[in-house]
Structure 1
């Protein structure tokens, strides 16, 4: 068990490095760029940054790695609108992404949020890591504000933006799934066989009750979560429909999860 957690802690430390690489190519529709990088995982997110002058930079786009070629050491990076810091009172520049702009990836990977079914499991996983853990109470507060007793993918994205959380960790069936907080792509899966006697729904938190908005009662996420594992597996499947390793895990798990197999985009 100690060896398993030592491996897990070492893996966490590898996520603390921000990756910076200049853009070497842009596709015709200006929706994807190419960068040179020694190694990177698909799903790692970040930003495209343009240097205005030596003292001023501006974020132009959100960025997510969509593919990596280890032979050429190049990665394709999809871009999307960056509007987190938008302000109608401020002037808007007309800068466009161009070769030479900088892709800054794995931003916020020194801060993580762990979703765990019990307090004991939460503390067993977090106590030996140098990662800056954002307590799930803060996430529960975000859920109450949004009226979501059942966490949605959008809630994780909001938490990532507001608290600069780069990584989400979810404990399921003796494994810790490490995900990019924005893309929700699975970066690693680590064995962590811990005894689980109970389940706190929707996850371990000291917040006694997560409010539901009465005027949104029929909306997504507004009913209390009834089962822990199926919900979080489903969230991951939606973001990783072609992940063969995740498919095999679900297929070999409890029979109650087998209904989720149809949500994968994988041919047997």
Structure 2
């Protein structure tokens, strides 16, 4: 009984160190598109948002930043943070003293898992706002996509306000920041199924993209996830 009690598929400490915390800092220095944060993010590849103050209690998110070095060096992204036809595009450049939130919306997480059991075990052991993969499957269907990619994950994340994507690979879980499209962390996982549901666990039996057909038995979930 003692041996049985010690054996668990996943542990809370494993994922506690896996997810980085949100961090508040400021822009210390700006040099063209390169900038320096007054306090570095926990992990390289993490993204954050820049908040500029316009005075009289008016402020707005102006851009994304991605940390490139552990010393707090970062770069800004030119594409808009918020897309809305009725709102003007903010063109304010990043300036010294701007506030920065690192790990913006990191509480909202999409999990791509090989089966329902793995999905349930992970989501029950850590308190996050889990975005169900059914939504991602429907998104890919409407976009005419057939398999996950960093590009369509980034598009889905922006549409559904997803901050992180956990991808279960063969023996590991990796943490993808969809804004930077970088793997920012990974952890070893044991007792995973030998074969995963293709293209990932979803409660949908059929969608218009034609994923779930007679040829799916020949497709490899782990091979595809290793390519992300």
The question of whether the paired residues in 2 share the 8 Å contact of 1:4 and 1:191 is answered with no
Higher RCO structure, 1 or 2 (CA under 8 Å, sep 6+)? 2
CA distance in 2, matches of 1:89, 1:198: 46
**Where does residue 11 of structure 1 map in the other structure?**
17
**Where does residue 51 of structure 2 map in the other structure?**
49
CA distance in 1, matches of 2:162, 2:22: 13
Q: Cα offset for 1:34?
A: 0.4
- What is the aligned-residue RMSD (CA, Å)? 2.5
**Where does residue 67 of structure 1 map in the other structure?**
69
**Where does residue 179 of structure 1 map in the other structure?**
176
* 1:72-151 alignment, distance < 5 Å: 75-87=72-84, 89-91=86-88, 95-151=92-148
The question of whether the paired residues in 2 share the 8 Å contact of 1:201 and 1:226 is answered with yes
The question of whether the paired residues in 1 share the 8 Å contact of 2:165 and 2:175 is answered with yes
Q: Specify which of 15, 24, 48 is matched with residue 28 of structure 2.
A: 24
**TM-score, length basis structure 2:** 0.84
Q: Against the structure 1 CA distance between its residues 125 and 3, is the aligned structure 2 distance closer, same or farther, given a 3 Å change threshold?
A: closer
Q: Cα offset for 1:204?
A: 0.3
Q: Deviations over 1:148-197 (max 9, x none)?
A: 12112122112211222111111111211112122232222112202414
Runs of 4+ in 1 over 4 A off after TM superposition: 86-94
Note the residue ranges of structure 1 that are not aligned, 5 or more in a row.
70-74, 214-223, 236-268
The question of whether the paired residues in 2 share the 8 Å contact of 1:51 and 1:101 is answered with yes
Note the residue ranges of structure 2 that are not aligned, 5 or more in a row.
1-6, 211-215
